[in-house]
Amino acid sequence: MAISQNVRFSGFATPDDEFDHPAGASIARMLHAGLQDTKWTVTEFDNWRDCGWSLDCSRDNTRLQIAFSQMEEGQWMLQVAPTSNPGFLGRLFGGTVSAQPSETTELAKSIHSILNTSESFSDFMWTWDGFPEEVNSDTEPHPPKTQEG
């Protein structure tokens, strides 16, 4: 099953008045504000591993996390993933994934719309479960391809 939507994109985040480290707090603010107008409930953004930012999003029983970081000057990586994705033992003891691929795609599309509206960001490369490169990516998020032969 597909787990996460990942995107690389180019652009420069405006400096943030409150946080100068890590880079990208202004992007976190933009996503937080933009997602307020969607069906998602969004937490305040938080420093993610001291190298980026994260926001948790929920709706009904669905829980997703957005985490992103600057890879190098002007280059960003963002991931949308379930907050819980138990392995075999976790599932054996009743654990369930906190979001289905359709819900991950829906949130990724909202994020894409918010970032794409800003003239500061471009060159979006979206892919499922891997590092986005030109050969495996699309310019916008899509549902995962089925495994039909």
Q: What does the pLDDT look like over 1-21, one tens digit per residue? A: 788 999 999 999 999 999 989
Q: What does the pLDDT look like over 60-101, one tens digit per residue? A: 999 999 999 999 999 999 999 998 665 666 666 766 677 889
> Nearest 5°: CA angle at 39, between 35 and 40?
55
Q: What does the pLDDT look like over 10-52, one tens digit per residue? A: 999 999 999 989 999 999 999 999 999 899 999 999 999 899 9
Boundaries of every domain in the chain: 5-134
The predicted pLDDT at position 12 comes to 94
Write down the pTM of the prediction: 0.90
Q: What does the pLDDT look like over 121-139, one tens digit per residue? A: 999 999 999 999 999 999 9
Contacts of 36 (CB under 8 A, 6+ apart): 42
DSSP for 26-93, written as a single string: HHHHHHHHHHTTSS-EEPPPEEETTTEEEEEEEETTEEEEEEEEEEETTEEEEEEEES----HHHHHT
Q: Using alpha carbons, list the distances in angstroms from residue 127 to 23, 39, 44.
A: 23, 23, 26
Q: In the CATH scheme, what is the code of domain 5-134?
A: 3.30.310
